[in-house]
Amino acid sequence: MRNFAQILFSLKMKEVTYEGMTFEPYITAETIKNRIAEIGRDIVRDCGNTKPLFICVLNGAFPFASDLFREVEDIDAEITFVRLKSYDGMGSTGKVKEMMGLKENIEGRNVIVVEDIVDTGRTIAGLLETLRERNPAALKVATLLYKPDALEFDIKPDYVGFEIPKKFIIGFGLDLNGLARNLKDIYVLKE
């Protein structure tokens, strides 16, 4: 049995540093895994035999999509991947993102967009608008993380792994300038 000081020490040891910033453990790999299994069960229950098409938003959502997709093995489902190309728009809306890579015809299909995180909601709002033009039968969003206090757009994710405060996190697909996506756990910027 470890004492409190030893536990604190081992947690401290797990701190990670990127670009001079220190991050501390926030959500463990095991907690993430269990939560994704629950979301998978919800999706199996809701989708039945509609043969949903999962659309994974690269790069960040790939570990979540990989785990989630294998949690729905009891139903027929397909997965595909899109990438969003950002432009720095001149208008007040800021960045405009164009969807690239979707070859599938989604008309009449049950579509589930898989995202790593919904922050202001700009990315997902834009993506949903683009996808809606292609007339899917249903369009839902599964996001591993959701910062409700940061939301600025009129969207509501259908499946949420974890609601978190407005803090910067990394790991399990989430990056800091391209790094830290390969961390098994999720870490939060230390204040």
**Interface with Mg ion (CB under 5 A):** 60, 116
Q: Residue 2 Cβ, how far from ligand IMP at the closest point, in Å?
A: 31
**119 noted as active-site residue:** yes
- Catalytic site residue from 67, 116, 119, 185: 119
Which of Mg ion, ligand IMP, none is residue 67 near (CB under 5 to 8 Å by kind)?
A: none
Residue 82, token pair as written in the block:
């899109």
- Sheet containing 16-18, strands listed edge to edge, beginning at the edge strand earlier in sequence: 16-18, 21-27, 186-189, 169-170
Which of ligand IMP, Mg ion, none is residue 9 near (CB under 5 to 8 Å by kind)?
A: none
The closest of 74, 80, 65 to 45, measured between CA atoms, is: 74
Check residue 96 and report its DSSP letter: E
Binding mask 117-156 for ligand IMP (x = CB under 6 A): xxxxxxx---------------------------------
Q: 187 - beta bridge partners?
A: 25, 170
Annotated catalytic residues are 119
